[in-house]
Amino acid sequence: KAAELGDADAQYELSRLYEVGKGVEKDEWKVIHCLEEAAIGGHPIARNRLGRIEWNIGNTERAVKHCIIAAKLGDDDSTKMLMHMFRNGQVSKDDLASALRAHQAAVDATKSPQREAAEEYYRNRNV
């Protein structure tokens, strides 16, 4: 229901269900559709997955665009993909630098004393 109402997280989760066929019939096109809807809604992991799909089918230019957007939303894996693409000459130095600056800004925007205290608590709890 939430996916029907446009919730990006729900769209992403629905894509995963279609991917594995859990509770629904496996459907590659519905996976992509749900990922696209989630990405439009600002879901960074969905955007990253679209980049990987494009990369795997040889659409390098589209893969780069998806990864740049995902990196700017704070997705760590997309920055790694962009670094790899840069080393292969598929991303310009300027585009990489811009994406990395925006990624850092997105990460910094999520920092708070409460989040840092929670991370410290969980780090020490599992020692």
CB-based contact 48:67 (threshold 8 Å)? yes
Pairwise CA distance, residues 9 & 37, whole Å: 10
CA neighbor of 100 nearest in space, from 123, 125, 68: 68
Render pLDDT for 24-80 as a digit per residue (tens, 0 to 9). Answer: 899 899 999 999 999 999 999 999 999 999 999 999 999 999 999 999 999 999 999
Distance from C-alpha of 104 to C-alpha of 83, rounded to nearest angstrom: 15
What predicted TM-score, i.e. pTM, was given to this entire model?
0.78
DSSP class of 6? T
Tell me how crowded residue 41 is: count the other CB atoms within 10 A of its CB: 16
